[in-house]
Amino acid sequence: MGLTKTDLFTENQNEIAMLAKAIAHPARVAIIEYLLKVNACICNDIVNELPLAQPTISQHLKELKNAGIIKGNIEGNAICYCINEPVFSKIQGLFQPMQLIQNKCC
């Protein structure tokens, strides 16, 4: 198979999984960290920043964009990527509602 049965889970569970998946690669973590650090929209400095080929980075950027974590604006012949604040905030608070009261064993 290899096909996740999304219809068997709640919308919330699928959303958490989807956002986590977008972050589940060190290159994408690096891209997010870089965009946060430079605090501005960065075009293809990312290609020079990361030790991966340009098509690979373009692919990772696409996945982050699909997840809504970043957004990109066309700026001349370059593209200006930056963090999409609302979604990033949502990620930061993703596990806050989950509270472990107390473990009865282990």
Query: Would you call 73 helix, strand, or coil by DSSP?
Result: strand
Sign (positive or negative) of CA dihedral 35, 38, 40, 44? negative
Q: Which of 2, 3, 26, 74 binds its own copies (CB under 8 A)?
A: 26
Which helix or strand (DSSP H or E) is residue 86 part of?
Answer: helix 85-92
In this chain, which of 13, 36, 56, 95 binds DNA, going by CB under 7 A? 56
User: What pairs with residue 70 in β-bridges?
Assistant: 83
Residues that bind its own copies (CB under 8 A): 4-6, 8-10, 13-14, 16-18, 20-21, 23-30, 32-33, 36, 39-41, 50-52, 71, 73, 75, 80, 82-85, 88, 91-92, 95-96, 98-106
